[in-house]
Amino acid sequence: MRSKFHLSGSVVLIIFVLLFLTGQVLAAAETGEYLKYQEPQPAASSWLATSSYIISLLLTFLLVLGLAYFTSKFLGQRMTRAGGFGGKVYSTLSLGPNRAVHVVEIAGKFMVLGVTEQNITLLNEITSATEIERIKALQSTANALPPEQFGSIFRRQLVSLKQMPRNFPLVFGSDTPETVDKEPENNNRKR
């Protein structure tokens, strides 16, 4: 019984192979150009197709940005409401690697915490109303930089960025006249 299935399966397979091969040969014989090389043709694209593709890319990018914004806003609101206690860090003093002292407000209580890699220790609880108001006032003034102070900081940083190529000429690939003049003297001294 098993040999009948093998025999009939083999015969069917041979018939399909022969039909496939004869079909290929007949198709090649009819056209007469079976092995003729043809130069590949570029796909025809119009300015309309190109512009619609660019617009769809921009819309997709804007959709991803919008989803990221709303997701971060949603998760931010959920994280601040986690546990029902609002928390805020008012001040941080770094004491070294992975060591700091933080002034925080949690559930309406102001605490001074010592934080290390392994532990968080309550150092002090601030109960004085005047101290609490002073901490809040310092935080609000630290968050709001006056425009003139921001402008002076920005100008100072911009000047330091402009001086970077002069301070590090090898990194930025620029040779100032000072470095070009000094190089031959250094080479003569080494000899």
Q: What is the pLDDT along the chain (191 residues), one digit of tens a residue?
A: 555 556 677 777 777 776 666 655 555 555 566 677 778 777 777 888 888 889 999 999 999 999 999 998 888 777 666 555 567 888 888 888 889 998 888 888 889 999 999 999 999 888 888 888 888 888 776 666 565 677 778 888 888 888 877 777 777 776 554 544 444 444 444 44
Q: What is the pLDDT of residue 183?
A: 47
H-helix or E-strand spanning residue 92: strand 87-96
The string of DSSP codes covering 12-32 is HHHHHHHHHHHHHHHHHHHHS
C-alpha 163/C-alpha 20 separation (Å) is 75
C-alpha 80/C-alpha 72 separation (Å) is 12
Q: What is the pLDDT of residue 189?
A: 47
Neighbour count for residue 20 (Cβ, 10 Å): 10
